[in-house]
Amino acid sequence: MGDISVGQIFLAAVLSNNFVLAMFLGLCPFLGVSGQLKTAAPMGAATTFVMLVASLCAYGLNWLVVHFDLEFLRLISYIVVIASAVQLVEMVLKKYSPALFRALGIYLPLITTNCAVLGVALFQTAREYSFAQSITFAAGAGAGFTLALVLMAGLRERLHLSKVPNVVQGTALSLMLAGMLSLAFMGFAGLGAGE
Amino acid sequence: MNDATAMAVTPGRVMIATLGLVATLCGVLIVSTYHGTLNAVTANKRIALERAVFKVVPGAASMKEFVATADGIAPAGPQTPTGAVEFYAAYDQAGALKGIAAEGAATGYADVVRVLYAYDPATQAISGLGVVSMRETPGIGDKIYTDQAFLANFQALDVRLSADGKALANAIKVVKHGTKRNPWEIDAISGATVTSKAVGKGINESAQRLLPRLAPNLDKLRGN
Amino acid sequence: MAIPGQKQLTHMEEFMEGIWKQNPVFVMVLGMCPVLAVSVSAVNALSMGVATTFVLVCSTLLVSLIRKVVPKEVRIATYIVIIATFVTIVDYLIQAISLKLYDALGAFIQLIVVNCIILGRAEAHASKNPPLRTVVNAMGMGLGFTIGLFALGSVREILGAGKLFGVSLFGPDFQPWVVMVLPPGGFFVLGTWLLLFNWLKQRKPAAAQPVEAHVHG
């Protein structure tokens, strides 16, 4: 798909094909870390960052794997290299930018094997995106993830103040909320499709 | 990792040796599965492709894969050159060319809609439509392969080439439901205009690239 | 999970763990991404369940077999490599069996790699238990996961398409709730199932207690 514009890819990844609400990727952190706005935003930023790293790695690896005709090693190399790259970046950050590390650091190990991250790598490969398209896709996916996380955190903070029946509390309620958000995001479908 | 460092630290070479061994074992497992399933997988892919092509080109009994480049057409190799258009030539029992099938894709309502269309060289028209993949809204977008009135658009959709043979004489156009006037227009499904437009756009883009390259080389396909 | 001072579970109880008490879908709410994404129909849900169970059983077995050889520092890396191997194998097997199924499950077959259930089981159970016990537990977990997926998939297919296993249930006059097979429906149906489970748990605390006591000995 070499002919889809970069802007379209970005918009689709953020809104109409939102990673969390339309593709069900990265639900574990979405349900786990969306309790407070304070943690949601840095988590989103950290995930976006890891997605960009993963997208870069995957683009390079895919070229290698295709070049040497080793498609059957694609998955295993993606997961190993992405995990190592994130670890490496974490160490570098710790040494050279302690402030940034403190902001993102605690989230990094959590996200390494998040399915949204591997999802970015796998989808960009499946759709045969070019380099620029891949990076945009990763940025869009990260932005979409952050948006969903922040929206959800806002909703859940409000809910703390309201009286909720015992039975519905916990994950069941979060899922219902996510369903409503997802319903709202469906309104974005068709974006960028026109002429 | 705190308790690990408190204990005796495993020497580096042991770690590397273990990882190496596990990786070797896994490598052997993957490669043997890959080779074990390779034949079945390629056969499956071939059957799926043939079934899709035979569905849009009724009466076809065999098919060959080709690529159309700026210099002409060639049988498809393992690698498709950049800028080339892949297409399939379908033949009947006697080996006569029945039609050409090619893929078109465009962004629809939810995601990319990919369709396979048949081109009939004799009438210079599109003569069939099949859907390869889509994620459009069930009950609305999926009318592109259930709605008979919509499919009727693709029984004889005019794609004649212009006089210089560089493009279609009339670009394929999707028009609002009930306003189709010309044979190169597609009557959109009412309520699923975006998906209908994606189908039209995908076919138009693909046909504009493929047909001008195909027209001078049709005899080559017949010769087979 | 052999906690010292606690009676070892019998194999049967080990098996039932994953199906009821620690059901990965309804109780632990793990591995939600594939659960919601592929549960648009009963067939997809079952196939995904079977694929995940296969990976779960094979990789935990291997992890359990080599648990005494692998140094602590590199264990997670080893587990990930092992899991990725079996996922690749499943990926090729499904392609060889049915391409249609492969297309329906899409990237989610490969995403089994990051399903938290598998890494969780490898780390929490397989690395501490002998092979037989591990396999029994993994089978229970896999079955529990499959049941969860099926519960979701069948409800979504019945409501969203008026069919089950592709067979029409209500005749042509049924107006399907299309939203159920769309993303929001996944959240709603899973939310409702969890609600039902919560309600059952709260309604019968008296009935649940003795069972609990029995299992723990």
- Quick one: pLDDT at residue A139? 93
Q: Check A172 against C202: CB less than 8 A apart.
A: no
Q: Which of B22, B30, B41 comes nearest C96 by C-beta?
A: B41
Mean pLDDT, chain B, as a whole number? 80
Let me know: does C197 contact C26? Beta carbons within 8 Å: yes
Is residue C205 very low, low, confident or very high in pLDDT (cuts 50, 70, 90)? low
Alpha helices for C20-130 (secondary structure H): 32-38, 42-65, 75-97, 99-105, 116-121
| Tokens standing for residue B126 | 């599109």
Confidence of residue A55 (pLDDT cuts 50, 70, 90): very high
C175: left (phi over 0), alpha (psi -120 to 50) or beta: beta
Cα dist. B186→B115, B175, C122 in Å? 15, 6, 56
CA distance A12 to chain B (A): 8
Task: Find chains touching chain B: ≥3 CB pairs under 8 Å.
Answer: A, C
* High-pLDDT (> 70) share of chain B, %: 92
The model's confidence at residue C34, banded by pLDDT at 50, 70 and 90, is confident
State the DSSP string of C119-168. Answer: HHHIIIIITTS-HHHHHHHHHHHHHHHHHHHHHHHHHHHHHHHSEETTEE
Min Cα separation C92/chain A (Å):
9
A22 to chain C: nearest residue by CA? C183
Chain A partners within 8 Å of B194 (Cβ): 190, 193-194
Burial of B83 (0-12, 13-18, 19+ CB in 10 A): exposed
Residue B45's φ and ψ, nearest 5 degrees, are -65, -40
B190 touches chain A (CB under 8 A): no
Asked whether the beta carbons of C103 and B133 are under 8 A apart, the reply is yes
Q: pLDDT-derived band of residue C57, with 50, 70 and 90 as boundaries?
A: very high
B19:C88 CB<8 A: no
Nearest to C201 by CA among A170, A30, A179: A170
For residue C9 the two structure tokens come to 């579970």
Q: Categorize the per-residue pLDDT at A110 as very low, low, confident or very high, splitting at 50, 70 and 90.
A: low
In degrees, to the nearest 5, what angle opens at C-alpha C164 toward C-alphas C160 and C168? 85
ipTM exceeding 0.95, yes/no? no
C156: number of Cβ within 10 Å: 27
Cβ atoms of C130 and C64 closer than 8 Å:
yes
Q: Which residues pair with B104 in a beta bridge?
A: B115
Sequence ranges of the domains in chain A: 6-27+36-185
> Rounded distance, CA A16 to CA B41, Å?
33
Contact C56, C140 (CB under 8 A): no
Interface test with A, best of C25, C38, C110 (most A CBs within 10 A): C110
pTM recorded for the entire structure:
0.81
Residues in chain A within 8 Å Cβ distance of B193? none
A24, A72, A73: best to mutate for the B interface, most B CBs within 10 A: A72
Best of A73, A80, A124, A133 to mutate (most B CBs within 10 Å, chain B)? A73
Give me the residue from C85, C111, C195 closest to A115, CB to CB. Answer: C111
Name, in order, each residue with C-beta under 8 angstroms of C153's C-beta and a sequence gap of 6 or more: C38, C39, C40, C41, C42, C43, C44, C45, C46
Residue C39 near residue C155, CB atoms below 8 Å: no
Question: Is pLDDT above 60 for B207?
Answer: yes
Phi first, then psi: give them for residue C142, nearest 5 degrees: -60, -45
Q: Is B16 on the interface with A (CB under 8 A)?
A: no
Say how far apart CA C202 and CA C120 lie, in whole Å.
28
* Residue with the larger pLDDT of the pair A36 and C82: C82
Going from N- to C-terminal start, the domains of chain C cover: 11-216
* Cα→Cα distances C52→B17, B145, C48, C83, C145, Å: 29, 33, 6, 11, 8
Question: At residue B82, does pLDDT exceed 80?
Answer: no
Predicted local confidence at residue C7, as pLDDT: 58
The top-scoring range by mean pLDDT among A102-116, A118-132, B70-84, C44-58 is C44-58
State residue A114's pLDDT score. Answer: 76
**Cβ neighbours of A27 in C, within 8 Å:** 32-33, 36
Mean pLDDT of chain C: 81
Cα dihedral C46, C52, C53, C54 in deg (nearest 10): 110
Burial grade of B157 (CB within 10 A; 0-12, 13-18, 19 or more): buried
The mean of the pLDDT values for chain A is: 82
